[in-house]
């Protein structure tokens, strides 16, 4: 089913998060290293590649952007395609303090995050994907902007820290490495561009 955004030529805003089974999305205690636990995660990698293929812009908050900028370019021999995608895709970073992103193909969005993202998705095809960046995600979710949530649920329990506060869930299983949960937001009484 097409959403109103697809009908008007506006990109879809998709929030993707890696999350523990108890809902933690923050990268505390280095819990997120699914490739390091010896489990075959090739099915999840196939899903990630599918998501990357539809992404025209990667949207990040400053902290997530700086973490990615310092880590990903140094991944020699990455056979997943993630590093190549991050090098090639247009990137937008929301920050009021960052002036020089220090990474090619990157634009700094320094105004109000919600208004900047509204402008970013307007008149654009494909998907604007946001990952990590939980403070930014909370602002976008609060404004009703996401068209879809994609959660990669990993079999870890932390019992604390930041959660994404989502409104609706659907699911497709990818055991034993984890579960991919994907869903579109409910309108919850608001007129969101992602509402059907």
Tell me the backbone φ, ψ of residue 167, rounded to 5 degrees: -110, -25
Per-residue pLDDT of 34-54, as tens digits, reads 445 566 777 888 888 888 888
- Using one digit for the tens of pLDDT, what is the confidence trace for 53-109? 889 999 999 998 988 887 666 667 778 888 888 888 999 999 999 999 988 899 999
Superfamily for 4-23+40-182? Dihydrofolate Reductase, subunit A (3.40.430.10)
**pTM greater than the 0.95 cutoff:** no
Q: Which two tokens stand for residue 88?
A: 């090639």
């Amino acid at each position: 089913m097409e959403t109103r955004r697809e009908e008007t030529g506006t990109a879809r805003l998709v929030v993707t998060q890696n999350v523990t089974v108890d809902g933690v999305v923050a990268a505390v205690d280095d819990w997120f290293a699914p490739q390091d636990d010896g489990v075959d995660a090739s099915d999840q990698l196939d899903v990630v590649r599918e998501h990357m293929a539809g992404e025209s812009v990667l949207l990040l908050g400053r902290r997530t952007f700086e973490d990615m900028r310092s880590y990903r370019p140094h991944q020699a021999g990455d056979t997943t395609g993630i590093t190549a995608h991050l090098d090639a895709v247009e990137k937008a970073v929301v920050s009021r303090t960052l002036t020089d992103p220090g990474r090619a193909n990157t634009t700094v969005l320094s105004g109000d995050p919600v208004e900047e993202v509204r402008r970013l998705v307007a008149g654009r095809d494909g998907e604007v994907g946001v990952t990590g960046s939980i403070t930014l995600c909370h602002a976008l979710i609060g404004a009703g902007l996401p068209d879809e949530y994609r959660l990669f649920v990993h079999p870890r329990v932390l019992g604390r820290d930041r959660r994404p506060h989502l409104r609706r869930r659907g699911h497709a299983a990818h055991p034993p490495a984890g579960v991919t949960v994907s869903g579109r937001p409910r309108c919850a009484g608001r007129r969101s561009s992602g509402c059907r």
